[in-house]
């Protein structure tokens, strides 16, 4: 029997999202139908909104919910389970199965499709590989952002980069993902933890999550400011210049400008003793990037990508939830705006214009 759902649909032609009353089909063999409590509003969705598309699109990729129906071959969750929905398959290596993206037929007969899961809806239907079973007593709203913001930011620091206690860290962009990176760096014991943004209020907000220094890129050259904060006395590069720069520099934005700043902001190499630092691309890029080959070569720097924080949702989500329960990760503070589903276009406007500190969520009745 179909499940009634209110779903945000991005039309094929440019224009605002529509909130439609639709019928979700019964789940296929590996699918589950989920009643959702809340969904994160992620900055990366703006790329889908502004890029050309061949069909209407279903958006959102992080949420909390409860399983209502399961397909015949579903084995990892059951009806009544509380789950976190995400966009990274929770166990792709073990299953050896490629999860199928979700789609829904619209009233005019066209199909609206998602890249994987969709969560801007009060009910969703997804492949079971995108639903991670968690304890039933978790906070049903703020934990919705674990499925992307926390995973992507904290995972980039912990798992992709492997930051260790005492390492210096710089983070460009302190929205939901960047703040999660700040929290992870603080939890590990990195120092200094340098937050870079264009908004002074966001920078001060980042200090509440563990940033030890802040740089307003509207007021100063962030590369030079990072280098000034991280000079290593007595250590010289191959050019006999003082070693400076952060051990790890994270770009949680993905613009051409920031992508081209993180490598020069990474630590230069200590000639004959230690290779240089690492630039980590976390934000979703829409352009190419140019790097200084001589800087990368002579300082033995690395430029790497972090996709979904290199996380395994089934293993990592319980740990992030423990961080929240123990107070190491204050999701109640990180979630700064709540919207109803009818206000999705207002939420998108606020996100696009930098009006959201932390992370916004949609809350469903």
- Closest of 279, 225, 221, 233 to residue 252, by C-alpha: 279
Q: What pLDDT, on a 0 to 100 scale, did the predictor assign at position 247?
A: 98
The CATH number fitting domain 150-308, selected from 3.40.50.300, 3.90.1150.10, 1.10.3720.10, 3.40.50.720: 3.40.50.720
- Closest of 143, 72, 95, 129 to residue 318, by C-alpha: 143
Q: What pLDDT, on a 0 to 100 scale, did the predictor assign at position 47?
A: 87
Q: What pLDDT, on a 0 to 100 scale, did the predictor assign at position 91?
A: 82
Q: What share of the chain is helix, strand, coil (3-state, %, to 5)?
A: 30, 30, 40
Q: What pLDDT, on a 0 to 100 scale, did the predictor assign at position 53?
A: 92
- Residue 302 is encoded by which pair of tokens? 């690395």
User: Phi and psi for 94 in degrees, rounded to 5?
Assistant: -70, -40
- Rounded CA separation 176/152 (Å): 9
Homologous superfamily in CATH for domain 3-140+330-363? Medium-chain alcohol dehydrogenases, catalytic domain (3.90.180.10)
Report the helix count and the strand count for the chain, using DSSP H and E: 11, 20
Q: What pLDDT, on a 0 to 100 scale, did the predictor assign at position 273?
A: 93
Q: What pLDDT, on a 0 to 100 scale, did the predictor assign at position 339?
A: 98
- Residue 123 is encoded by which pair of tokens? 């009910």
Distance of CA 341 to the CA centre of its chain: 21
200 Cβ neighbours under 8 A, 6+ residues apart: 216
Neighbour tally for 206: CB within 10 Å? 28
User: Which sequence spans correspond to the domains of the chain?
Assistant: 3-140+330-363, 150-308
Do 251 and 258 meet the contact criterion of CB atoms below 8 Å apart? yes
- Residue 294 is encoded by which pair of tokens? 């001589």
What pTM was computed for the model?
0.95
Residue with tokens 């690492």: 278
- pLDDT tens for the 365 residues of the chain, in order: 899 999 999 999 999 999 999 999 999 999 999 999 999 999 889 888 999 999 999 999 999 999 999 999 999 999 999 999 999 999 877 777 889 889 999 999 999 999 999 999 999 999 999 999 999 999 999 999 999 999 999 999 999 999 999 999 999 999 999 999 999 999 999 999 999 999 999 999 999 999 999 999 999 999 999 999 999 999 999 999 999 999 999 999 999 999 999 999 999 999 999 999 999 999 999 999 999 999 999 999 999 999 999 999 999 999 999 999 999 999 999 999 999 999 999 999 999 998 998 999 999 97
Q: What pLDDT, on a 0 to 100 scale, did the predictor assign at position 1?
A: 86
Neighbour tally for 333: CB within 10 Å? 13
Burial status of residue 198 (CB atoms within 10 A of its CB: 0-12, 13-18, 19 or more): middle
| DSSP run (H or E) holding 200 | helix 200-207
Q: What pLDDT, on a 0 to 100 scale, did the predictor assign at position 98?
A: 87
Q: What pLDDT, on a 0 to 100 scale, did the predictor assign at position 10?
A: 97
Do 248 and 275 meet the contact criterion of CB atoms below 8 Å apart? no
Distance of CA 2 to the CA centre of its chain: 32
Q: What pLDDT, on a 0 to 100 scale, did the predictor assign at position 160?
A: 98
């Amino acid at each position: 029997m179909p499940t009634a759902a209110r779903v945000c649909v991005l039309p094929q032609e440019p224009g605002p999202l529509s909130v439609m009353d639709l019928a979700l089909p019964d789940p296929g063999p590996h699918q589950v139908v989920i009643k959702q409590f809340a969904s994160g509003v992620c900055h990366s969705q703006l790329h889908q909104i502004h890029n050309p598309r061949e069909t209407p699109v279903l958006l959102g990729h992080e949420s909390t919910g409860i399983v209502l129906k399961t397909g015949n071959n579903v084995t990892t969750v059951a009806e009544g389970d509380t789950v976190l929905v995400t966009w990274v398959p929770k166990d792709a290596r073990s299953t050896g199965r490629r999860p199928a993206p979700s789609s829904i037929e619209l009233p005019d007969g066209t199909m609206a499709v998602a890249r994987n899961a969709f969560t801007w809806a009060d009910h969703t239907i997804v492949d079971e590989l995108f639903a991670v079973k968690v304890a039933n007593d978790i906070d049903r709203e703020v934990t919705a952002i674990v499925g992307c913001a926390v995973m992507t930011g904290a995972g980039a620091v912990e798992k992709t980069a492997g930051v260790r206690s005492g390492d210096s860290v710089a983070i460009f962009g302190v929205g939901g993902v960047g703040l999660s990176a700040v929290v992870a760096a603080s939890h590990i014991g990195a120092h200094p933890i340098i937050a870079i943004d264009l908004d002074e209020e966001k920078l001060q907000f980042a200090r509440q999550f563990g940033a030890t220094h802040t740089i307003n890129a509207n007021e100063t050259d962030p590369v030079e400011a990072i280098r000034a904060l991280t000079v290593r006395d007595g250590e010289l590069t191959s050019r006999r210049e003082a070693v400076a720069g952060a051990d790890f520099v994270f770009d949680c934005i993905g613009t051409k400008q920031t992508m081209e700043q993180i490598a020069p902001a990474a630590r230069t190499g200590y000639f004959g003793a230690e290779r240089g630092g690492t630039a980590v691309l976390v934000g979703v890029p829409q352009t190419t990037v140019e790097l200084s080959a001589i800087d990368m070569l002579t300082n033995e720097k690395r430029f790497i990508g972090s996709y979904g924080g290199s996380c395994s949702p089934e293993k990592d989500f319980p740990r992030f939830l423990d961080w929240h329960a123990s107070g190491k990760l204050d999701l109640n503070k990180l979630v700064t705006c709540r919207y109803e589903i009818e206000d999705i276009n207002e939420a998108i406007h606020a996100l696009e214009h930098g009006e959201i500190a932390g992370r916004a969520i949609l809350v469903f009745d």
